[in-house]
Amino acid sequence: MAESKKWVYLFEEVAEVEKYAGSWDGVRGLLGGKGSGLADMTRAGVPVPPGFTITTEACNEFRKTGQFPLGLWDQVLAALKVVEQQSGKKFGDPLNPLLVSCRSGAKFSMPGMMNTILNIGLNDQVAGGMIKLTGNPRFVYDSYRRLVEMFGTTVFNFDDELFEHPLAEYKAGKGYKLDLEMTAEDWQALVATFKAAFKKQAGFDFPQDVLKQLELATKAVFESWMGKRAIDYRKATGISDDLGTAVNIVTMVFGNMGDDSGTGVAFTRNPSTGDKKMMGEYLLNAQGEDVVAGIRNTDQIENLGKTMPQVYRQFMDITGKLEKHYKDMQDVEFTIERGKLWMLQTRNGKRTAKSTIKIAVDMSNEGLISREEAVLRVTPEVVDALLHPQFDENSKKTAVVYAKGVNASPGAAVGQAYFDADTAEEMAKENKQQTIMVRPFTKPDDVHGMIASQGVLTSEGGATSHAAVVARQFGIPCVVGASMIKIDLENRIMEVDGNVVKEGEWISVDGTTGQVYIGKLPTSAPSLEEQTDLLTLLGWADDIAARKDIRILPDGRKAPGLQVWANADYPKDARRARSYGAKGIGLCRTEHMFFETERLPIVQKMILAETSAERTGYLDQLLPTQRKDFDGLFEAMDGYPVIIRLIDPPLHEFMPDEEKLFEEVVTMRVKGETLGLKEKEDLLASIKSLHESNPMMGLRGVRLSITMPEIVEMQVRAIFEAAADCTKRGIVVRPEVMIPLTGTVKELEWIQPRLIRIARTVTEEKKVDFHYKFGTMIEIPRAAVTAGEIATLAEFFSFGTNDLTQMTFGYSRDDAERNFLVTYVAAGILPRNPFQTLDREGVGKLMQMAINDGRKTRPELEVGICGEHGGDPDSIEWCHMIGNNYVSCSPFRVPIARLAAAHAALKYSGQKIAEDK
């Protein structure tokens, strides 16, 4: 017989596999996650039930031919022989039977998507022998009926009903409610019933040949790789169909063999707090599912030290080793069969955000992992979750839960309830209200209302309903399927058991727990100062990103990674940003200040001024307040750069609502009212003259400054007067004036010298000197394409990726998000919302061009990003790759960005900046 390929590896043959596969990743590919884990534990001297793995290569051969490849079955039989020796039991031997499980296990975890068959090796004879051995007929018959059922449904794909129906009928006949009430005799009867059902459906008897059982089970696992569920899952998660699954044949061990047996689960550290203390529970004389089912009260793992001190010592020793081996907190399952400890599984344990950070920091301090590894262990999402506003725990205790649904999108939201999207949007946008949109369910038409709201609540649908998907996409707290709520759209109320909430009343929605409350529950953002572990970790992250050799510039010089700055319009935001670790202000939006109640009337008069002199008069009134704004900002950011963007939005945004005014005018005309009509008509005409078909691409930004330079002249004077005053007070100011919406260098040539003249005039008037810059946003595609020219004047670039994304895609964000973006993401036309995560292929490519061309002109060009993407980890990575100096984001996202910047630095450490267009 020709030497056939090796398809089967015993757990202890791990070194041989590693040699063949070339790497541990190769081992995982060949043996799957579970198989490689069992082999790895075996190698580490951990007592693992004997067993072997059939490789993914065998699976792939099987998929091609529908047959076991040559030699496979012989190798299985040989491996089984070894396992019999190791376990001291014999497969199919009623006197000392070996039972095995047959489990799927692919390279990447696909929980519940493929088949597993337990208790293989049981037949009528073996069952009889086992009853003698264990003295526990109830356990044996229960195991046997499970095998028959699993075989039928899993190997032969029979309908579950075939077995569930007779069981239900039997229980009904006995008056049982729970399986627990079934006796040994009951299960014995059921075994007979199941076998009969099997025969009727299959046309042959349930196989008594244990090897036949093993063969069929193995084939069924292979086939389950190409089952619909598995394929769908892989498509959704991007796992390749070519990988195949391995099959693990493992000796069954039983914790219910008496009081010297038991089973349990444990975490090597506290998964909730991260404390370095084993946490777990166990049950004597029990099976794994008994622990999970919560039928009997489990014991704390510490007590095992009293009942079985030797096993406990061994357990603590093994888990200690496992933690060291995997360098992470482990989640283990174990069984004690007649005094012997078997480790059934170990894996990195799931944990809360808080404990993730504590464990990473602790393990690094313990010397188990490096600081880099600690930083990499914590994903930005973890930090996000930790800092997300949440309902105050004390308030929640006293508040009455109004309803409960599915926790579809996390976070705490408080707002006034509105029962349709249009109203919710209108109240949010026009009345500046906080709103919660409440609907039976949502449709694409409703997205604009969802986006405008703080939170969303539906009475129908589940975690994958439209409302849930959209809410998660946009980061809006959302509870769905709160089916106890009756929504009466006609009367604009909702009701739970006679408890009525009218439209406009306040409610609170907890997307993290699925609970809904009446009224306004206080929310709180956890204070960063108290999170000492997080502060430690972020400090390490900053150190990594600040290393001077993290990036190689195109000219060969070395450079550090990204800094994190923040977008802040007011001193209080700047102070928060600074306390969160921001190293500068990347965007201060000056026009926000124009909207303040006492200033808006002056701003409106200024806009409607008919002469430059009149306009300047109103601007003179605004100058002191703007100066005060900037003064506070410089003071808060003492020593750090502050980028101030000159006025950006179109002027009509400052004017009263046109439609409302039109309605008033028409009404007055129809009624024949003349008092004040003329004034209203004139105002309407003025507003109409400011109207634009596509305001996003109209008269705004630098275009506005060129057609009406008085406004920015006032702003620049305010900036430099404030900076001069601060300098005199001993504050170190680093103002950077940012001109928005540049599309051609000629715009800068027109405006920038005028503004610099004002800057010089002020510093001369005030007799102070400080360093300042003039630069521009890159947010128009043409600016990116002609960045080399623009850099002749601009001393810094800041990517306005919101607008750059709008114009590169030709998407008006408002319109796109409500009209087609959800459809596009759902249909896979866009991988994700490009307004949240930067589109590297399009927008990102333009950024890359702009940086390269800009630095060719001005090698020391400072480059940042101030669009929303500045706080998105994937986008931050791209900014690192293409050579940004910093990212600027909302103060709340600064910690996330700091971590993301470190991750990018580690991932691309020492690499050249990507120049490829």
Pick the catalytic residue from 59, 102, 448, 466. 466
Supply the minimum distance, in Å, between the C-beta of residue 615 and a copy of itself.
Answer: 16
Supply the minimum distance, in Å, between the C-beta of residue 812 and a copy of itself.
Answer: 3
Interface positions, 803-832, toward a copy of itself (CB under 8 A): 803, 806-812, 814-816, 819-820, 823-824, 827-830
Q: What mask, x for binding a copy of itself by CB under 8 A, covers residues 417 to 436?
A: --------------------
Supply the minimum distance, in Å, between the C-beta of residue 585 and a copy of itself.
Answer: 25
Interface positions, 708-747, toward a copy of itself (CB under 8 A): 741, 743-744, 746-747
Spatial strand order of the sheet with 493-496 comes to: 486-488, 493-496, 499-502
d(CA 908, CA 399): 49
Pick the catalytic residue from 478, 588, 866, 879. 866
Q: Which CA distances in Å does 736 have to 566, 720, 764, 862?
A: 14, 10, 18, 11
Supply 70's token pair: 């040559």
**Residue 638, phi then psi, degrees to nearest 5:** -35, 120
Q: Quote the strand ranges of 369-410, DSSP E.
A: 390-391, 401-404, 406-409
Nearer to a copy of itself, 25 or 445 (CB): 445
Q: CB under 8 A: which stretch of 73-81, 114-122, 369-377, 701-709 binds a copy of itself?
A: 701-709
- From candidates 41, 780, 850, 861, binder to a copy of itself by CB under 8 A: 780
The answer to whether residue 786 forms part of the interface with a copy of itself (CB under 8 A) is yes
Supply the minimum distance, in Å, between the C-beta of residue 427 and a copy of itself.
Answer: 16
User: Per DSSP, what are the bridge partners of residue 435?
Assistant: 416
Nearer to a copy of itself, 574 or 704 (CB): 704
Interface positions, 441-500, toward a copy of itself (CB under 8 A): 445
User: Per DSSP, what are the bridge partners of residue 334?
Assistant: 264, 343
Q: How many CB atoms lie within 10 A of CB 718?
A: 25
Strands 506-510 and 412-418: what pairing? antiparallel
Supply 93's token pair: 């031997």
Helices assigned H by DSSP within 693-733 = 701-707, 710-728
Nearer to a copy of itself, 680 or 782 (CB): 782
- From candidates 242, 393, 841, 916, binder to a copy of itself by CB under 8 A: 841
Q: Which CA distances in Å does 351 have to 348, 409, 561, 898?
A: 9, 19, 30, 22
Query: Is 466 one of the catalytic residues?
Result: yes
The answer to whether residue 836 forms part of the interface with a copy of itself (CB under 8 A) is no
The answer to whether residue 781 forms part of the interface with a copy of itself (CB under 8 A) is yes
Interface positions, 671-700, toward a copy of itself (CB under 8 A): 671, 689, 692-699
Q: Which CA distances in Å does 523 have to 276, 393, 412, 506, 507?
A: 31, 9, 7, 14, 13
Nearer to a copy of itself, 190 or 778 (CB): 778
* Whether the Cβ atoms of residue 475 and residue 835 lie closer than 8 Å to each other: no
Residue 526 host element (H or E): none
Nearer to a copy of itself, 663 or 764 (CB): 663
DSSP state of 151: I
Q: Which CA distances in Å does 136 have to 139, 143, 178, 805?
A: 6, 11, 20, 68
- From candidates 1, 178, 670, 675, binder to a copy of itself by CB under 8 A: 670
The answer to whether residue 703 forms part of the interface with a copy of itself (CB under 8 A) is yes
> At CA 835, angle to CA 830 and CA 838, rounded to 5?
75
d(CA 414, CA 434): 7
**Residue among 388, 385, 384, 408 at smallest CA distance from 469:** 408
d(CA 807, CA 487): 41
d(CA 87, CA 80): 10
Nearer to a copy of itself, 75 or 808 (CB): 808
Interface positions, 534-553, toward a copy of itself (CB under 8 A): none
Nearer to a copy of itself, 80 or 751 (CB): 751
* Whether the Cβ atoms of residue 115 and residue 230 lie closer than 8 Å to each other: no
The answer to whether residue 401 forms part of the interface with a copy of itself (CB under 8 A) is no
**Residue 91, phi then psi, degrees to nearest 5:** -65, 120
- From candidates 492, 773, 782, 832, binder to a copy of itself by CB under 8 A: 782
Supply the minimum distance, in Å, between the C-beta of residue 493 and a copy of itself.
Answer: 23
- From candidates 394, 597, 674, 707, binder to a copy of itself by CB under 8 A: 707
d(CA 772, CA 753): 14
Nearer to a copy of itself, 235 or 728 (CB): 235
Supply the minimum distance, in Å, between the C-beta of residue 349 and a copy of itself.
Answer: 39
Nearer to a copy of itself, 77 or 829 (CB): 829
- From candidates 323, 425, 839, 868, binder to a copy of itself by CB under 8 A: 839
Supply the minimum distance, in Å, between the C-beta of residue 472 and a copy of itself.
Answer: 21
d(CA 474, CA 600): 31
| Site of tokens 């202000």 | 585
> At CA 580, angle to CA 579 and CA 581, rounded to 5?
90
Nearer to a copy of itself, 134 or 837 (CB): 837
* Whether the Cβ atoms of residue 881 and residue 913 lie closer than 8 Å to each other: yes
Supply the minimum distance, in Å, between the C-beta of residue 470 and a copy of itself.
Answer: 15
- How many of the chain's residues bind a copy of itself (CB under 8 A)? 60
Supply the minimum distance, in Å, between the C-beta of residue 429 and a copy of itself.
Answer: 11
Residues serving a catalytic function are 466, 866
Point out which residues bind a copy of itself (CB under 8 A).
445, 659, 662-663, 666-667, 670-671, 689, 692-699, 703, 706-707, 741, 743-744, 746-747, 749-750, 779-782, 785-786, 789, 803, 806-812, 814-816, 819-820, 823-824, 827-830, 839, 841-843, 845-846, 917
